[in-house]
Structure formats: C-alpha cells, structure tokens
Structure 1
Amino acid sequence: MSSKFPLLRDNALIYGRLLPVEEPHLIERYNKALKAFGLKATKLKSFEIDRTGFSPQIAEECEDYDYLDPNGINRRFIILTPGQRDLPVVHTAFSNTSQLMFEFMSKNQRAIDALTIKDVIYGEIEDSVSKVEDIEDLLSINQVEFRVLSAEDVLGKAAELGKLVDRLKQEPDAWRDDKMLEQMVELAKVCGDIRENTLVPDQVIFRHNAYWTSHFGGLYVFVDPDATTVIGDPAAPGFRRSRPWQVSYLSIHDADKVFRFLAGTGRIELPRASWIESSGYLEHRAEMVVRSLIREAEPKRNLSDTDKVWLQTWMHSNADMINRDGNFPFLNAAKREIRQVGQLRLEDVFPQQRFLVVRAKPDHPDAWLTNRLISDFVPSDFVSRYVFNKQGFYKDYEGFSQPWREHVVDILKTTYLKDKVAFRTRLYGLTD
C-alpha cells in the first residue's frame, strides 16, 4: 500500500513509527518465524515491523498484505523485541488487535524480555472460528487465546527443564542419574536459570470486547452488560438473523438510530459549552466542511498557498453553495445557541448533522471506537478520519486528486502530526 501512497509514506502518514530491523540475527529469527508459518524467508537486508511483527516491506516483497492475517481471522504475530509493545498496529482486520497485543505483551513482559534475548516468539491470536462467513462467526468470538511458540523451542525446553527440576526435588535418588543431570545442564544452557527467568507466558486468554472489523464492508460490535449491538450494512450475511433474541442490529445508513444508540448508552458527549467552547471543536468541523466544499467545487485547485483570508474570500464568492449544503450555517447557529444557553437542543436537528457536534465521551472504554463510528457520518472531516479511522481515510485518499492529496497532507502535518497528544486532548478530550 505504501507504494501506492508515496506522499503519505514520505510524511509518516502511513506506516509511521515502525521499528527498523537490520541486524542479521534478528532477520534470521524473523525468517524462522516466517518458515514456521509456511511462508518464504525474506531476502531483504532491512525492513520495518509494527507491534504484531507485520512489515509493509515484506508484504510488498511477497505481494500479500495479509501474510500475517490470512482470512482476516486468527491473526499471526512475530515478536523480536519487547520494544514492539510501544509500536502501532498498521494492518489489521479488527480494531482491537492492537489492544489485545498490548495486553498480552504487558501481562507477560518478564517472559517476553527473557525469551527474546535468545529466540523469536511467534504464534496466533486464536479465535473460536477459522473463517468468517457471516455475522454469527463474529458473535461467537467471546475471547481469544494467544498460541505462543518459539523458533528454537526455548519454551518447550524450559517446560522440560521444569519437569526435571521437579523430579530432582521429589525423587530421593534422582541426583544419581548422571544422564538426567547432563540433560538439565544442556537445557539450562539454552533456558538459563528458570527459577529466576520467567520464560513461559502465563496469561494468554483475553476478552474480545467491542470492535470494528473490515469483514462485510466494515462492521461494528458494541458490548453492553445487557445487550450486544451490531452496526453495519444490512446486506451483511446474518444481519438481523443471528441471535436476534440477544443482539440488536442497526443499519449504518440509519443516522437517527445510530445516534440514539450512542446517546442512550452514554458513549457520546452532547454539545455543551463546558467542552465545546474550550476545544474549538465546532470551529474545526466548520473548517473541514468548507475545505470539503472547495474540493467538491474545484477538485484540482492547488491549495498550497491558501490562508484564512483566501478561505473567507472563497466563502463569500460561494455563499449559495455553502447555504445549499447547510452544514456551515448549521455549525454557526449551533455556536450561537451554545454561547447563549450553554447547550444545543438536538431534537429538531437533522440526524446526519447531529454527528457534527458530538464526540465520544473521553472516559468511556469505547471512546476510540465511538469516534471512529462518528467519523463515518462526517466524511468531510479528514483529520478525524485519519486519527480514528485510518482504513476509511486511506480509502477516501485513493479518490482524491493529486492537488487535494497534497493539501490533506499539509493540513495533517500542521495540525495533528505537530503534536498528536495535545491535538487529541484539545479536540476530543482524550488523554491517552
């Protein structure tokens, strides 16, 4: 994909913050994991990896971006170093893959630290299904289990050494068995002192909670204590037919019902002065609306030298178009009402426009997923799309003209990339 979007790659807007792998011994270990998966060894002398071990360079080499994600289920992983924990996940069929990998690496940090000194860790995030053919397959996944292996079988040898140590403790004459003692010495050369080194990951099962998946054109699953809600295209196989007694189904095309679900389950912050006025949220949305209209009217215009004065001039010249669209006047009216009464009544607002003035509740566990869903209803805000919905952003980007691509990159560089944490905190209230 990076070869398709060189401008994004050159500006670290795709496959950014990855870990370079250049040392021959690490490349050799990576190749051992590839071979264990039945894949060809890479001939590259250097490449980059994300948290899961996915490498865009190797994906291009083998012409398969799903080489670690066959069938979009039971994701494979390759861990060369504990440092991968702090990397992003840049290619996945499930939005929660990143969190699952982070939890696994955090809970088993000591074992991963010890193992990766001498070996590569690889395996699969095993689900309860081997292929996703309808929504029922997704709903059947309640938890995942990390199946963990190592190329030099350090894990197996550690387990074997542990059994021999137990035998030595429990059998009075075991110390007379020279062959067993020699075997223990040889195993210890590989494993070290297993009394000090935790080599076997002890937490490998994790809950599979709310997520977005690329299956069936993109589908959301939200889990609440008393219900599960699926949001997607009604054409998806199993939609409204799988577990109707315990699952609610909402069409992604029904803005009103989706909004009511998010509001009713406490996942969004409604437009109130307490956060709207300090965040600059409506101003940001308004600017995105105007820029989208410029693209619609003049898709090939060079916007490299535009400034706020130029934008104001363009808006005056295209007032009729802006009024017909309705979103910019709506946002201005919303600002006035919030300034006057401290909040905005949404009952009479067109459902699609409601998403312009809300954000995910920052302290909700599903905040990132909710902001992703909101971005589906506000495609004009390419910044929010990039922050929360990169798959959607990259799909949008494919349809952009070259001048507009350059403009989008410039805006992202001068806003979000300048200080990601500060930007997310100010605009979305997120602190992580």
Structure 2
Amino acid sequence: MKRLIEKGLMFGNLIRVDSSAWIGLYNRALKKLIGRETALTEFHIDISGYSPEIGDELGDMDYLAPDGGNRYFILLTTEQKTAPMLNADLSVLRDVLRRFITENESQLFSLTARDAVIGEIDDQVWQLRSPADLPAIRHLRVSADTTGNHVAEADKLTAMIEQFRSDPDAWWDDVLIARMIEQAKKSGDVLRHPIRLDHTDFEVPDFWTDRFGGTYVIRSAQEPAVIFADPDHEIEVEGFLTLTISDRHALAAWLARNALAEPIINARGADAAAILRQKIDFILADAAVWLCLDTGNGTRAELRRAAARMGDDLPAEIRGLSALQRYAEQGGDWPVIDSGDPAYFHALRATSGPARDLVNRLLSELAPQDVRQLFITHKPLFYRLYQDWPDAKRAYVANMLAREYAMDKQGTREALFGPEPDMAEPEPAPASADPWGIPRVSLSKGVVGPWGRASGGAG
C-alpha cells in the first residue's frame, strides 16, 4: 500500500491536524465518544474525523465505527467536506455527511470556531441480523452537538424564549427570567446568532454495504433488487428480486429491463473507441503479469507485442472488446456480444439516474480487470484485491492511475461515466421503447432480447 500512499491514491485529500488547539479539541471529542485519547502530535483525518494514524496507534482501525453501532464523526472544520471517507461500511455515508456539512455550513462554521462538533449517523435500524433487514435502511439521521453541548444549551434557551413570548404572564415570572439570563451565559444570544442544525434527515433509496459479504440494495429501479457478492449469504428478500454476482444472464436482463445500463458504444458523449482501447490495455497488462511476460513500460505497443506471445492464453475478453472497438472506429457489421461473453459487462456503463454510481460499482465488480473503473467506483474491493496482486501489476496500476486519473479526476470520471446526474426525476420512456431506449439498440443484433441471446452457464 505504500506505493499507493506515495502517489496520493490512498489516504489522499485528508485534512492535516498538527496544531495544539485542534489536537486538544480532537482529544476532548475522542474522550467523549470512546473514552480514549491520542498522544500523536500530528495526524490526518477524513470527512468524518477518522484518522488512520490514530487507528494504528489505538490498535482499532474502526474506532469511530463501533461494532454493531452507528458511525461516529468529529468535525474540527467545515473544510472536512472535501475529504474522502475511509472505512465506510455503507456507500452513502460520505455523501450524507458532505450534504449535512454543506447544508448547515454557516452554523457548523460558528460551532467549530469554539469547539469540536461530534455526532453519529443513525440508520434507525436496531439490528441487522440477516440481509432481509437491509431494506429497513431507508433514511439516515445525523445527530450532532459540540463537546460542550452548545446546540443542546441553545435549544434550552430557545424553548424558554418561546415560553416567554407565548405566556402573557411571563413578564412577571422572575424565576423564568432568571433562568433565561443564566442560560444565555452558556449559549450566547440565540436570537442574533441562532444555533440550530436543520438539515439532518436524508433519504437512502440505494446503497452498497460491506455486510453479508458485500450487498447491493437498489430500490429506485422499477424492479427493486438485492444483489449479493457472496452467494453463501443469498436469501429471499420480500419485495425484491434477489441475485448474486455470478448470475450473469439474470443480472444482464435485470439491468436491461430497468434501463440501468447502456452499451458504451452508444452512450451519449462517450469516446467509445478510446474507452474500449483502454479496457483492452488493462486486460492485457493483467494477463501479461500472470503469464510473466515482459511489457517494458506498459505502453500500448508493448502490450500488443506481449499479446502476440500469449497464444491460447490470450484473455477471452479481448475478442469481443476488439470487435466493438473496430465497429466504433470503422463501422460494419454489429458484433454479436451476449451476456455469456466475458466482454459483455466491460462494454456497459450505467445510465444517468439515482442509481448511476451504484450500478457502475456493480459493473466494476462484474469486470474487475478494468482496474481504473474499479478504483474509481469500488475502492474497498480495489484495495482488497491490490494486496494479492504481484508487485509488477501493483507498479503498473499505481503508475497508470497516477498518470491517467489523479491528474484530472473530474475529467476522467465524466469521460468514462458521463456528467454527474442532476436531481431531476428522469422522464419515463415511451411504452414502445425497449430497455435500451429508442431506437432499439443492443450489444447483439439479430438475437432475442436487448441483452443478447440467453446462452447456457454463468459465463
């Protein structure tokens, strides 16, 4: 992992904490949350205030996520909104915390000027005993206050003020007036400087969790589904279609029926030929490493020369992706690519909509040789697989990501996946449209179904 850290591909964009004031506030917050403190004089924190250095010091890499409990957070500054979230067991946690900070920024700015803000992200589900409990996660609620309880103290004074205003006899209530004066010493002038966090509840229609071997819950689709990465955890979930990552044909059909994915070659604004060439490069580089073939600096020409030496070991995905690339560049007959073809999921990207990022994450798990998409959309799986790769592949991947992604993250994401989806509801497709849209387009022409012919086996 050291190579990734040095290139800014792991633990990047964290907030540096090196002042005695911030360290004191952090320790005060940590003491209140978990009863422990850090002796470090410098460390880095993510959007939730989690520090990998402190995790290593305490011997607990999940010290802000107690086993079976809600995720705690510590805010020292509103600038944490730009940082990543490490060790997230729920894919939406960073987005929810970022929105919480953004939508309450003026209040949080005032609070963090005097104290650390601490809190938790509550999924409002008491216990997750089986995958059948996951659909109960529909909303996340953020509860927050300073270590000095400034928000709670302000709420007390606000309640007294409301009582004073609404009770016609309050002018003669010396006890109430005395309590208000005393409370104002703790909370300040809440009329001129109100302390109230209004945006604390967030809907969660779709998410991925690392629970039960890795599980996707996609509720926003017309046909809601729960998808298991580990078949051993698969159970029926009421009201949901249940699938596993190995159900290639069923997954392809579900993505098509619900218009959740589209062929890259037909995606609006995508340079399909360039994207397909890059995918071929990644697959060849992976195969060359495992076959112990020298690829020099991993240039496209060197990878093609290595491919010529692979013979029967040439990856099965190459034939389909090369056919699609030729079609994108030269036209001609549409390649026949069905869901049994190893190239199939490499050739798709998610359509715009609320589940776009989650579907791209699912596609990266179905086609993990595309290490760039895997890194962008599914970092937990990327880091886990990275540890078992040969050093030659680690070096190639780290250098490629530093060169082709880290230099322009936003531009790369838009080139691969399209513009970020807006908040508007997508317009429903006309009844005559097939799942790929109008005109009818599929990866395979002349066969039944927009996902290709149903061939046997899982592929």
TM-score normalised by L of structure 1 = 0.89
Q: Distance in 2 between matches of 1:74 and 1:268?
A: 33
Q: Give a deviation string over 1:131-164, Cα, whole Å, max 9, x none.
A: 4221122121121222223210101210122123
1:321 maps to what in 2? 313
Range with bigger deviation, 265-274 or 176-185: 176-185
2:350 to 360, 384, 404: 360
Residue 92 to residue 148, structure 1, CA distance change in 2 (3 Å): same
- Report deviation, 1:409: 0.9
Aligned to 1:285: 279
Match of 2:291 in 1: 297
**Aligned with residue 308 of structure 1, among 292, 300, 303:** 300
Taking a change above 3 Å as real, the CA distance of residues 341 and 151 of structure 1, as seen in their structure-2 partners, is same
Which of 388, 392, 395 lines up with 1:406 in the alignment?
395
Task: Pick closer, same or farther for the CA change 1:295–1:271 going to 2, 3 Å.
Answer: same
Is 1:216 equivalent to 2:179 in the alignment?
no
1:55 aligns with 2:51: yes
Which is helix-richer, 1 or 2? 1
Structure 1 position 416 matched with structure 2 position 434: no
Instruction: Report the equivalent of 1:135.
Output: 131
Residue type of the partner of 1:133?
R
Question: Is contact 1:33-1:151 (8 Å) kept?
Answer: yes
1:114 and 2:110 matched = yes
Any idea what SS the aligned residue of 1:262 has? helix
Superimposed CA distance per residue, residues 67-115 of structure 1 (whole angstroms, 9 cap, x where no aligned partner) = 1112365211111211112221122101111111122222322321222
Deviation beyond 6 Å, 4+ runs, structure 1 = 176-179
2:439 alignment partner in structure 1: none
Kept in 2: contact 1:271–1:343 (CA 8 A): no
AA of the residue aligned to 2:393: W
- The 10-residue stretch of structure 1 (47-56 or 303-312) with the greater mean CA deviation from structure 2: 303-312
| 5+ residue gaps, structure 1 | none
The amino acid across from 1:378 in the alignment is A
Alignment RMSD: 2.5
Q: Evaluate the alpha carbon distance shift between residue 396 and residue 151 of structure 1 in structure 2; reply closer, same or farther with a 3 A threshold.
A: same
Deviation at 1:177, TM superposition (A): 6.2
Distance 2:224 2:338 in 1: 28
Secondary structure of the residue aligned to 2:376 is helix
CA change 1:159–1:192 in 2 (3 A) is same
For residues 367 and 257 of structure 1, what CA distance do their matches in structure 2 show? 19
Partner residue of 2:425?
none
Kept in 2, the 8 Å contact 1:71–1:131? The answer is no
Normalised TM-score (structure 2): 0.84
Partner residue, 1:268: 261
- Once residues 306 and 139 of structure 1 are traced to their aligned partners in structure 2, the CA distance between those partners, rounded to angstroms, is 44
Against the structure 1 CA distance between its residues 420 and 226, is the aligned structure 2 distance closer, same or farther, given a 3 Å change threshold?
closer
Rate the CA distance shift 1:399–1:234 in 2: closer, same or farther, 3 A: closer
- Asked if 1 retains the 8 angstrom alpha-carbon contact of 2:273 and 2:329, the reply is no
Answer whether contact 2:85 2:94 (CA < 8 A) is retained.
yes
Q: 1:305 & 1:247 partners in 2: Cα distance? A: 47
The one-character-per-residue Cα deviations of 1:323-381 (angstroms, maximum 9, x if unpaired) are xx2222221111223445589566645344211111112x3222211111111111111
Distance 1:306 1:108, change over 3 A: closer
Counterpart in 2 of 1:259? 252
Query: Aligned to 1:113, what secondary structure does the other structure show?
Result: helix
Match for 2:21 among 13, 18, 25? 25
**Equivalent pair of 2:249/2:339 in contact (CA under 8 Å):** no
How high is the sequence identity, in percent, across the aligned residues?
27
Q: How many residues align?
A: 420
Do the aligned residues in 2 keep the contact of 1:76 with 1:122 (CA within 8 Å)? yes
In structure 2, stretches of 5+ residues that fail to align are 422-459
CA contact (8 A) 1:421 1:431 kept: no
Q: Which residue of 1 aligns with 2:446?
A: none
Tell me by how many angstroms 1:211 deviates.
0.9
Partners of 2:134 and 2:333 in 1: CA distance: 39
Of the candidates 109, 122, 126, which is equivalent to residue 122 of structure 2?
Answer: 126
User: Does the residue aligned with 1:353 lie in a helix, a strand or coil?
Assistant: coil
